[in-house]
Amino acid sequence: MGKIITATAGSIATDRPGPLYDGPAMSVADTRFLRATPVLRVADYPAASAYWVDRLGFRIVEEGGDPPRFGILERDRAVVFLDAWHGGRPPRETGWDAYLHVRGLTALHDELTAAGANVVRPVESTMYGMMEFEVLDPDGNRVCFGEDPERTD
């Protein structure tokens, strides 16, 4: 099974001995964020992970628990954590639970629609210059896929 890392205020516990980072000292100028990963709470990990794999095209990279209750899923450079350790997400009416930047938004929309994803907002041009559409997963997590037509990276 996969490796689980737990954190509490002021400490991090891993299954590896020694310090968390044992490389050369880094200055503040060397510090940079590498990525952010949304953690989506789910009530039923097997159902949620199947949806993300079968409907949204992600693949499971690692799972934790026996049976699994936590998963790291990825598609290209996007990573999502699915967490059933803490139960499903509290209900709410508005807001995103994750925003994933993509290239080829219209083709992705067509792919996910054909795969049976629950698309709740079609591709639209926003007032802030993005093209977006939204999907709801079985736990009600609202995921927005967005493309900036002016960026080429």
Report the CATH number at residue 135.
3.10.180.10
Instruction: Examine residue 76 and state whether it is found in any structural domain, yes or no.
Output: yes
Does residue 44 belong to any structural domain of this protein? yes
In a domain, 64, yes or no: yes
Number of domains in the chain: 1
Question: 116, 119, 79, 122: which is closest to 101 by C-alpha?
Answer: 79
Q: Which residues pair with 75 in a beta bridge?
A: 78
Range of the domain at 109: 36-87+96-147
pTM value is: 0.75
Question: What is the Rg, in whole angstroms, of the alpha carbon atoms belonging to the chain?
Answer: 18
Q: What is the 3-state secondary structure (H, E, C) of 31-82?
A: CCCCCCCCEEECCCHHHHHHHHHHCCCCEEEEEECCCCCEEEEEECCEEEEE
Which pLDDT tens digits describe the chain residue by residue (153 residues)? 444 444 444 444 444 444 555 566 666 677 777 778 999 999 999 999 999 999 999 999 999 999 999 999 999 999 999 999 988 888 777 889 999 999 999 999 999 999 999 999 999 999 999 999 999 999 999 999 999 988 876
CB-based burial, 47-66: b 16+ in 10 Å, e otherwise: ebbebbeebbebebeebbee
Tell me if 73 is assigned to some domain. yes
Instruction: Specify if 69 maps to a domain.
Output: yes
What SS3 state is found at 98?
A: strand
